Structure 1
Amino acid sequence: MRAFSQLLDGLTYTRSRNAKLKLIADYLRATPDPDRGYAMAALTGDLDLPAVKPAVIRALVGERVDPVLYGLSRDFIGDTAETAALLWPDPAVPPEGELDLSLSAVIDRLNASGRAAAPATLADLLDRVSVEERYALLKLATGSLRAGVSARLAKTGLADAFGLNVDDVEELWHGLTPPYQPLFEWAEGRSDRPALSELPVFRPFMLAHGLEDGTVDLADYAAEWKWDGIRVQLVRAGGQTRLFSRTGDDITASFPDVAAAFTHDGALDGELLVRGDAQGADSHGGAAASFNALQQRLGRKAVSAAMLRDYPAFVRLYDVLLDGQEDLRAEPWTERRRRLEAIVPQLDPTRFDLSQLINAADFYALTEIRAGARDDAIEGVMLKRRDSPYVGGRRVGLWYKWKRDPLTADCVVMYAQRGSGKRSSYYSDYTFGCWSEDGDLLPVGKAYSGITDEELRWIDRFVRNHTVKRFGPVREVEKSLVFEIAFDSIHASARHKSGIAMRFPRISRVRRDKPAAEADRVETLRRLAT
């Protein structure tokens, strides 16, 4: 555990991307199997210890520490694992017997305990390790490392450690399970590359840079709509079909209707959507509901018959990576598009269709078309270089995303809560509202992004000096501060008191100049709802 805790501390307090990569690579080269594999699983979010939840940790600390002290400390620190690690008292009598406290041994012990015995097992382990190791153990147990490392960065560190291509690591990753020993054996030259041709494995997505300014020549770039669902990869091999999200998560169980309908061997890239009113079909491709409808099905481990009926899912296809076992990723976009157009007619038309290209004479004509697009499910425009191969990650000059201009509304701050991680000492998460016809403020959204560090400090002071009520960690504030909120779209929602829900709300401006009474009305936002 000591080496893993040192790695976690190093990653948490290091900002430099290259320094983080070096820390990961050094750890992986120096650490034996299976510890390094489990460490990678923890860093990438693939380690699951279901017997330990935050409630278990709170209960254990409550048995040993004054609950008022814990509550005040947790509120100040903003992190359960860090608070518990610092407050956990050393045992009056040291635990009997020696234990293997390697990372893999600790994980095996927690996994073998089951829910009933897990609290006692965790307490025994906490009694045997240092404060730093306690913190790492608790982070490991809850699966919330928050070390400033994305899954992609961790895999890049592994690739750097052994001189591999990160896309090769990514592709193999999803066909293996922790602690990934075949991957490390291949990385160190002790075995051949794992063979996964008969498994439906994930391949890295090709991503786009934002088109902030400037233009592109439509002779070199094809334009198509950017749909507002979730990007998915459909993979079929060895008689099995899998759906993967952009991060490589297997979401097949949430969309069994789509998986069952995909019978073409290969790997396709597309946007997962929910069917809308068929009468809404138009030149855009249409017949797709807003993201709010898709959200009803996201994250479900089991999908009811009513859910399948009321929210029928389908995929609007963008690209083809593999046709059968033929890898097309090195081919130019024009050839892959031709192959995709030949594949789509073979698929179930109720579950799959083709993302339509936009016919525009030049970039200025495209600008006008984009400005007029307010379809429920359109997020903007994609621009794809016609000769571009399909490569994982973002490559300059190949693909651009050109999102439609956001909507804005002036909203009044109603509640504030402390953030997490580096923002745990600041009130940085805000609930805001607009005025109803009766003159009441109704919450319309929450946001925490879009402000500078200086603005964050100013708003934190405002919250502390203008608190009118407290509800646990939440503070209700005087209704006098106005934010201009930018959002991509707004939808009707029966789950919210205001009857609406914003899509991707973020703080555009802090309106110190605007009186709260002049903020927008809920009815104004309802008229924008799609």
Structure 2
Amino acid sequence: MRAFADLLEGLAFAPGRNARLDLIGRWLRDMPDPDRGWGLAALAGELDLPAVKPALIRGLIEERVDPLLFRLSHDYVGDLAETVALLWPGQGADGAVAQLSLGQVVEALSSPGRADAPARLSALLDRLDERGRHALLKLATGNLRVGAGARLARMAFARAFDVPESDVEELWHGVEPPYGPLFHWATGAGPRPDAGAQPLFRPFMLAHPLEAPEMLDLAEYSAEWKWDGIRAMAVRAGGQARLYSRDGNEISAAFPEISAAQSVDAVLDGELLVRAGDGVASFNALQKRLGRKRVPGAMLRDSPVFMRCYDLLFDGREDLRDRPLDERRARLEALVGQLDPQRFDMSPALEAGSFAALSALRDSPPDPLIEGLMLKRRDAPYVSGRRAGLWYKWKRDALRADCVLMYARRGHGRRSSFFSDFTFGAWSDGQLLPVGKAYFGFTDEELKWLDRWVRTHMVARHGPVAEVEKSLVLEVAFDSIGPSARHKSGLAMRFPRISRIRTEKPAGEADSVAALAAMAR
């Protein structure tokens, strides 16, 4: 556990992505099997220990220390694992942190029923010191919060063993933790795992922002709308169907109607959207599905999801990725015609004789859920990642609004000592109503300034959340805004970020809910 505890601590304070990749890579090379596989699964969010729940951990610590002391400490620290690691009585057995392996921990916690889980977890915590307990609880709950994730874990694996990242992406979902065959292949100790006829993820092709449209030859590119949904890959092979998100995580359970309706073996790249009459509902209707392992019948009925198809990677077992875009789109059109039109349709190509005409389409799209345009080279193959000159995204300019800071919450990892998550609102009948939350867009110096401002203008504490004077105006940039039941204002922003701190503007002159609602139309 000591090596895993060191890894988590290093990741929490790593200065950037490359530093995190290097840390994970060294750890994967140095650790033995199966410990490195279990650690990789934890970093990727794929280690499932269902018997260990936050309620169980809270119950155990309240048996050992004053419950009021725990609650006050948790309010101040803000993180359950860190609070329990600090408060748990005793310093553990000598050498236990080094001797206890990840494999032993997973074995102890993966099989117990509800009756055995408290005793097993308590025994492990009693053996460990503060750092070991913190690592154990982070591992058990899956709530690492160290700036890692599935995508970063796979990148680190590929870099650590100098294997193609695209191969790792494709093989990942065909191998279960602790990924023995994947490590054997990557280290040269075994063959490449046989994917066979499995519905596996393939890495997405991505687009560069279009900075200078006048430099392109429009005749060489096909244009289509860029929709504000969830990019997804629908895969059916060998009679099995799965749905994957852009980062390679399986999301079939959240959108079961898509996998159920995919009746033809193929790999489709497209956008998940919610149908609303003859149009498309806001992203917030789609967001309700994210992270769900079971979707209620009412949600399936009231928010019907469909896929707007962009590209065809495989037709049956035939790999089309080396074929030009125009050929793939012709094959896609024929294949989509075989699928349920309520669940699958095709993103149409747009006709425009000049970039001026395209610009006019971009600025006045027929649907507010359209973010802009995609330009794709007609002869381009489908390749993973971003390749210069092949695909471009030409988004509309960001929307902006002046909002008033209402609440702030401390961050995690490197930001754990700063108030860095900010909730802001707009005016409605003399009252401020929340319209969004942002935790990026500002510089490190601006973060320090905001943190000081929150601490000196705090009017109430609600656990880790500080309520502040309603006097600071923030200019917020966002991609779109739509109806939402999550906020009392009835609105929620898409991709909000703080673009400017407006100390010169009185809070009473900030924007209204009505003004923001007008932007949604």
TM (norm. structure 1) is 0.91
Residue 412 (structure 2) aligns with = 420
SS of structure 2 residue aligned to 1:49: coil
State whether residues 483 and 507 of structure 1, in contact with CA within 8 Å, keep that contact through their aligned partners in structure 2: yes
Q: Please give the alpha-carbon distance, in whole angstroms, between the structure 1 residues aligned to 2:467 and 2:5.
A: 38
Which residue pairs with 1:209 in the alignment?
A: 208
Provide the residue aligned with 2:470 in structure 1: 479
Query: What are the equivalent positions in structure 2 for 1:321-400 lying under 5 Å apart?
Result: 321-373=313-365, 375-400=367-392
1:312 to 304, 310, 321: 304
C-alpha deviations, 1:203-222, integer Å up to 9, x for none? Answer: 11112222345543323332
Runs (5+) with no aligned partner, structure 1: 279-286
Q: 1:517 aligns with which of 473, 493, 508?
A: 508
2:102 maps to amino acid: L
Alpha-carbon distance change, 113 to 210 in structure 1, aligned in 2, over 3 angstroms: same
Q: Deviations over 1:165-190 (max 9, x none)?
A: 11111111111211111222222334
Equivalent residues of 2:150, 2:249 under 8 A apart: no
Q: Secondary structure at the match of 1:300?
A: coil
Structure 2 unaligned segments of length 5 or more: list them.
Answer: none
Q: Is the 8 A contact 1:90 1:127 kept in 2?
A: yes
Q: SS where residue 474 of structure 2 aligns?
A: strand
Q: Displacement, 1:19?
A: 4.4
1:410 equivalent in alignment to 2:409? no
Compared with structure 1, are the counterparts of its residues 98 and 159 closer, same or farther at alpha carbon in structure 2 (3 Å cutoff)? Answer: closer
Which of 330-339 and 34-43 deviates more? 330-339
1:359 offset after TM fit, Å? 1.4
The letter for the 1-side match of 2:265 is D
Structure 1 residue 326 displacement after superposition: 0.9
Count of residue correspondences: 519
SS at match of 1:40: helix
Partner of 1:25: 25
What per-residue deviation string (whole Å, max 9, x for no partner) do you get for residues 212-236 of structure 1?
Answer: 4554332333221111111111111
Decide whether the 8 Å contact of 2:97 with 2:132 is kept in 1.
Answer: no
Out of 275, 284, 287, which is 1:292 matched to?
284
Identity of aligned residues (%): 62
CA distance in structure 1 between the partners assigned to 2:97 and 2:389 by the alignment:
58
2:154 paired with 1:162: no
Structure-2 separation of matches of 1:78 and 1:472 = 8
In structure 1, give the amino acid aligned to 2:186.
A
Deviates more, 1:139-148 or 1:64-73: 64-73
AA partner of residue 52 (structure 1): V
CA contact (8 A) 1:78 1:421 kept: no
The question of 1:60 aligning with 2:51 is answered no
Amino acid at match of 1:179: P
Larger CA deviation: 364-373 vs 116-125: 116-125
* Partners of 2:500 and 2:18 in 1: CA distance: 33
* Alpha-carbon distance in 2 for matches of 1:13, 1:98: 21
Query: Cα offset for 1:202?
Result: 1.0
TM-score (norm. length: structure 2): 0.92
Q: Name the residue aligned to 1:134.
A: 133
Alignment of 1:196-275 (within 5 A): 196-212=195-211, 215=214, 216-275=216-275
Partner of 2:106: 107
1:88 maps to 2:80: no
2: distance between equivalents of 1:101 and 1:303?
Answer: 39
Aligned residue for 2:337, secondary structure, equals helix
Deviation at 1:133, TM superposition (A): 2.2
The residue identity in structure 2 corresponding to 1:165 is P
For residue 2 of structure 2, what is the aligned residue in structure 1? 2
| Shift in Å, 1:98 | 12
Q: Which residue of 2 aligns with 1:50?
A: 50
RMSD between aligned residues = 2.5
SS at the partner of 2:508?
Answer: helix
Per the alignment, residue 433 of structure 2 pairs with 442
SS in 2 for 1:219: helix
CA distance, structure 1, for counterparts of residue 289 and residue 144 of structure 2: 27
CA 1:379–1:456 in 2, change beyond 3 Å: closer, same or farther? same
What is the distance in 1 between the residues matched to 2:185 and 2:446? 50
**CA shift in 2, pair 1:208/1:344, >3 Å:** same
> In the TM superposition, what is the alpha-carbon distance from 1:152 to its structure 2 partner?
2.7
Residues 72, 310 of structure 1: alpha-carbon distance in 2 compared, 3 angstrom cutoff: closer
Deviation at 1:70, TM superposition (A): 4.6
- The one-letter amino acid paired with 1:349 is P
CA separation of 1:498 and 1:224: change in aligned 2, threshold 3 A? same
Give 1:395 deviation, angstroms: 2.6
**CA drift at 1:192:** 2.7
